[in-house]
Amino acid sequence: EGQRVAISRRISNKWRLIGYGIVEL
C-alpha cells in the first residue's frame, strides 16, 4: 500500500508541474 501512495503522490506532483506549465503559458 505504501508503494501505491508513493505512486499517486508522484503522479499528483507531475500534474501539479503540468498545471504550473499551463499557467505560465
- pTM check: above 0.75: no
Q: How many domains does the chain have?
A: 1
Look up the domain containing 16 and give its range: 1-25
As a whole number of Å, the end-to-end CA separation of the chain is 36
pLDDT given at position 4 = 92
Helix H, strand E, coil C: the string for the chain is: CHHHHHHHHHHHHHHHHHHHHHHHC
pLDDT tens per residue, range 1-25: 789 999 999 999 999 999 988 887 7
Torsion of CA 14, 16, 21, 23, to 10 degrees: 160
For 1-13, give one letter per residue: b (16+ CB within 10 A) or e. eeeeeeeeeeeee
